[in-house]
């Protein structure tokens, strides 16, 4: 890994996912403290996904055309900080709506480009991706556990200051990530839509969309769900941390897993285990053992899922399509899927209740499995580095 800027990339992942570790478990609780109802919280939380529908594609298109991915990441990081500062100047619903929409427009630009640059820096060594990406998981754990304990003793109103500190860390590391060479590929002569129209690629993107929708109620209401059932905020923090610790374990061993199991089989197994996980969350919340056990499945419903999905996207989108391929994956899965999951859960949470909301999430994962099992058989693709 001597030629790879390991610590600069790892530092960016650390702070980027520390931000997620502050927002995903606790931002819903912060919004609840501002007296927003479940539907309003669902809308505001979904804005972090809405801009992913189109913003990454805009940024990815510019990046692939100009080759200046690093400069776009730097611009996005600074724009995110400026936008987020708006939370300190108002707390009305529409003000928060505008702030979170602006924040998401810039924030959603960074990760697909950094993912593409990381894989470009790794070249033939794409199996080493997990050893860089795991620092994002470590950042998530540091933030979620630290804030979990903090909010047992200080008001949740301190959360925006913690988020701002992390965002400044993102901006700092964005300044030092070096550009990676974009190598020509035989597939460059095809348009990106020629790639998307292949059945196995379209099936992958649809399945990823459904998997993101599956996690909509988890990222929006899971902490509220646990607190409402008597779990302390420090325990909530440790439950989130346990999932990510299991995720780190997967990232450490994923090169050996890839040597024995294809990404396609891994992603199908991840969909199947997501069905089990969300049924346990739906109906086992009164049992601490089932709740903790369900969290260990995060190793598969995110860890192996994400590693397999990124590997498959990287296999299908090569050369000049690399950044837009990762952006398309982000926008369709976390953008469209995450938005639908968040908005639908905001409606069903009050209409059907928490149990059936998480049951519908399990059904979405089952549909993802069915789609990819039926149409996701990978066809021959242009030659490239083996994953």
Tokens for 367, please give them. 């549909």
- How many other C-beta atoms are found inside a 10 Å radius of the C-beta of residue 307? 26
| pLDDT at 65 exceeding the cut of 70 | yes
Q: What is the pLDDT of residue 321?
A: 66
Least confident of 6-10, 31-35, 365-369: 6-10
Q: Any idea which residue has 């908005």 for tokens?
A: 343
Give which of 133, 116, 127 is closest to 179, Cα–Cα: 116
Q: Any idea which residue has 């899922």 for tokens?
A: 305
| pLDDT at 237 exceeding the cut of 50 | yes
Query: How far, in Å, CA of 21 to CA of 18, rounded?
Result: 5
Instruction: Give the angle 277-207-122 at the CA atoms, nearest 5°.
Output: 95
Tokens for 326, please give them. 């990762």
**What is the pTM for the complete model shown?**
0.75
Q: What is the pLDDT confidence band of residue 280, given thresholds at 50, 70 and 90?
A: very high
Pick 110 or 362 by higher pLDDT. 362
Query: How far, in Å, CA of 65 to CA of 62, rounded?
Result: 5
Tokens for 211, please give them. 């998997």
Q: What is the pLDDT confidence band of residue 183, given thresholds at 50, 70 and 90?
A: low
| pLDDT at 182 exceeding the cut of 70 | no
**Mean pLDDT score, 272-284:** 98
DSSP-derived 3-state class of residue 198: coil
Q: What is the pLDDT confidence band of residue 181, given thresholds at 50, 70 and 90?
A: low
Query: How far, in Å, CA of 122 to CA of 267, rounded?
Result: 22
Give which of 121, 178, 115 is closest to 313, Cα–Cα: 115
Continuous H helices in 51-198: 55-66, 69-84, 93-122, 129-150, 159-174, 192-196
Query: Quick one: CA torsion of 284, 288, 292, 295, rounded to 10 degrees?
Result: 40
What sign results for the dihedral spanned by CA atoms 113, 119, 47, 11? Answer: negative
**Mean pLDDT score, 240-248:** 88
Identify the CATH number of the domain defined by range 6-178+190-375: 1.20.1250.20
Least confident of 177-191, 219-233, 357-371: 177-191
Least confident of 177-186, 193-202, 300-309: 177-186
Q: What is the pLDDT of residue 320?
A: 65
Give which of 250, 313, 306, 333 is closest to 116, Cα–Cα: 313
Q: What is the pLDDT confidence band of residue 81, given thresholds at 50, 70 and 90?
A: very high
Read off the pLDDT of residues 24-59 as tens digits, 9 standing for 90 and up.
888 988 999 999 988 898 888 878 777 778 777 777
Asked if residue 130 lies in contact with residue 254, where contact means CB atoms within 8 angstroms, the answer is yes
Pick 148 or 128 by higher pLDDT. 148
pLDDT averaged over the chain? 86
**Mean pLDDT score, 236-257:** 87
**Mean pLDDT score, 244-254:** 87
Q: What percent of the chain is modeled with pLDDT above 70?
A: 91
**Mean pLDDT score, 76-82:** 94
Q: How many residues does the chain have?
A: 387
Pick 57 or 365 by higher pLDDT. 365
């Amino acid at each position: 890994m001597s030629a790879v800027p390991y610590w600069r990339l790892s530092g960016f992942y650390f702070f980027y996912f520390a931000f997620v570790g502050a927002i995903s478990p606790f931002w819903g609780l912060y919004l609840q403290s501002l007296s927003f109802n479940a539907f309003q919280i669902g809308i505001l939380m979904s804005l972090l996904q809405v801009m992913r529908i189109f913003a990454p594609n805009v940024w990815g298109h510019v990046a692939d055309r100009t080759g200046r991915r690093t400069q776009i990441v730097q611009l996005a990081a600074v724009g995110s900080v400026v936008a987020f500062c708006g939370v300190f100047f108002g707390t009305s619903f529409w003000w928060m709506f505008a702030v979170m929409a602006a924040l998401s427009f810039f924030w959603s630009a960074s990760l697909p480009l950094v993912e593409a640059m990381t894989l470009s820096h790794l070249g033939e060594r794409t199996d080493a991706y997990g050893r860089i990406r795991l620092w994002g998981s470590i950042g998530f754990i540091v933030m979620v556990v630290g804030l979990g304990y903090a909010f047992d003793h200080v008001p949740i109103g301190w959360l925006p200051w913690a988020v701002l500190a992390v965002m400044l860390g993102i901006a700092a590391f964005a300044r030092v990530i070096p550009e990676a060479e974009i190598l020509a590929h035989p597939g460059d002569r095809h348009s990106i839509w020629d790639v998307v129209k292949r059945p196995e690629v379209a099936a992958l993107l649809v399945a990823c969309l459904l998997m993101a929708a599956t996690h909509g109620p988890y990222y929006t209401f899971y902490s509220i769900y646990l607190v409402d059932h008597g779990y302390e905020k420090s325990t909530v923090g440790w439950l989130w941390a346990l999932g990510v610790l299991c995720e780190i374990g997967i990232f450490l061993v994923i090169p050996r897993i890839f040597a024995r199991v294809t990404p396609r089989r891994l992603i199908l197994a991840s969909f199947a285990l997501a069905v089990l996980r969300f049924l346990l969350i739906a109906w086992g919340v009164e049992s601490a053992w089932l709740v903790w056990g369900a969290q260990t499945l995060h190793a598969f419903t995110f860890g192996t899922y994400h590693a397999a999905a990124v590997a498959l996207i990287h296999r299908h989108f090569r050369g000049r399509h690399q950044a837009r391929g990762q952006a398309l994956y982000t926008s369709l899965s976390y953008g469209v899927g995450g938005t639908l999951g968040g908005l639908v859960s905001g409606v069903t949470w009050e209409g059907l209740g928490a149990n059936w909301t998480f049951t519908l999430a399990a059904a979405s994962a089952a549909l993802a499995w069915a789609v990819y099992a039926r149409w996701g058989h990978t066809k021959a693709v242009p030659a490239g580095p083996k994953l």
